[in-house]
Amino acid sequence: MASSSQKGIVITIPVLVLSVSAAAIFLFFLLSSLSSSPCTCPPSIPDSTFTTTAAVVTGGAVVAEVVDRRISVSRDDIEWVKDQIRANGLHMQDNVLRKGINPRTRAQQLEDLNNFKGISHYEGSEANNHTALPCPGELLVEEHHSNYGEPWAGGRDVFEFLAESSRLTANSHVLEIGCGTLRVGLHFIRYLKPEHFHCLERDELSLMAAFRYELPSQGLLHKRPLIVRGEDMGFAKFGSDVMYDLIYASAVFLHMPDKLVWVGLERLVSRLKPYDGRIFVSHNIKFCSRLGGDECTKRLGSLGLEYLGKHTHDSLLFNHYEIWFEFRRSKA
| Domain spans of the chain, in order of start | 151-329
Q: What is the pLDDT of residue 231?
A: 86
Is 111:199 a contact under the CB 8 Å cutoff? no
Cα 199 to Cα 223: distance, rounded to the nearest angstrom = 13
Q: Which residues of the chain fall below pLDDT 70?
A: 1-69, 117-119, 149
CA distance readout (Å), 206 to 6, 24, 123, 203, 282: 103, 75, 30, 5, 20
Nearest to 261 by CA among 284, 293, 237, 236: 284
Q: What is the pLDDT of residue 64?
A: 47
Cα 220 to Cα 72: distance, rounded to the nearest angstrom = 21
Could you tell me how many helices (H) and strands (E) the chain has, helices first?
11, 9
Cα 271 to Cα 266: distance, rounded to the nearest angstrom = 10
Q: What is the pLDDT of residue 62?
A: 47
The CATH homologous superfamily to which domain 151-329 belongs is Vaccinia Virus protein VP39 (3.40.50.150)
Give this prediction's pTM: 0.77
Is 174:168 a contact under the CB 8 Å cutoff? yes
Q: What are the respective helix, strand and coil percentages of the chain, to the nearest 5?
A: 40, 20, 40
Cα 78 to Cα 139: distance, rounded to the nearest angstrom = 32
Q: What is the pLDDT of residue 12?
A: 54
Cα 278 to Cα 168: distance, rounded to the nearest angstrom = 10
Q: What is the pLDDT of residue 33?
A: 47
Q: What angle do CA 332, 198, 329 make, to 5 degrees?
A: 20
105: left (phi over 0), alpha (psi -120 to 50) or beta: beta
In the chain the beta strands, taken as DSSP E runs, fall at 51-58, 61-68, 174-177, 197-201, 226-229, 246-249, 278-282, 305-314, 321-329
